[in-house]
Amino acid sequence: MDAPKRRKTTVKDVLEKKRRKEILVCMAAYDSPMAAIADEVGFDLLINGNAGPMSLLGHPTPMTVSFEEQLILTQAVSRVARYGMIVAHMPFMTYHRSKKHAIRNAARLISEGGADAVKCEGNKYTAEYVAEIVRAGIPAMGHIGMQASRKLEQSGFGVKGRTATDAAKIVEDARAFVDAGVFGFILEYVPVEITSYLAATLPVPVISVGAGASPDGIYIGCGDAVGYSAFPRPKNQRCFVDVRPMIEQGLRAYKEEVLARTYPSEEFTAHMTKEEHDKFLELVA
């Protein structure tokens, strides 16, 4: 029997998987080579999160990432990915100034970036801006729990929601985002008890990144999964294959062969014919 023909993942597909209790497998993708490989493997969502400018461009915090940088990385993904839903992160303070400002920036990620949806960090106070994006016809995901763009407010990147009071606030924020019209959530770095509760009570998928096992979906950064980043891998993210030593080995071998004058060898060298070489020497004499 032939395998089913692959097609683009849509918002309807994401919600249907939640209804059928099927798990969403999601991957962060920040550049064209990684996006092409990930799309060939096959993931429901390809998320261009704020970790992209950090791991690829060296930003120590997402608060220094510009909208244009996030847009460029989204374009790099959308140019090669055909099947996974491309979700572009809205960078720090790009949807808080006004509702008009929020819609314009979200629209640029769709029309110029090629994204299929946008992702917004926030809480019950920022939900009104997310609602305006959705009302404008742009699909939006929420991002709750640990929010890298709110590092200062949250006192760092650690696990959030360890106390009952803090956990209840996360639930309150999630409900406000659902009321705003999001079609799903990224839930980052919280105790699994919160993940389980939200997945069981919310009508949209709750996709875990470092938040334990969610029945709705799992998400990991591409750099974390394969060991390719300018920064150390987060402790609560598994590295499935570490390419950094392999890359270092290859670069060292290249350097050594150049110094030894063994690269490029004859195999990688082009030649003129003797006739053309003789003509060349006459022309330049």
Residue 183 near residue 14, CB atoms below 8 Å: yes
Task: Give me the catalytic one of 172, 188, 248, 275.
Answer: 188
117 three-state secondary structure: strand
Sign of the CA dihedral running 86, 87, 93, 94 = positive
What's the CA gap between 210 and 179, in Å, rounded? 25
The yes-or-no answer on residue 188 being catalytic is yes
Query: Which single residue is written with the structure tokens 């063994």?
Result: 262
| 184-221 burial: b if 16+ Cβ within 10 Å, else e | bbbbbbbbeebbbbbbeebebbbbbbbbbebbbbbbbb
Catalytic residue numbers, as ranges: 188
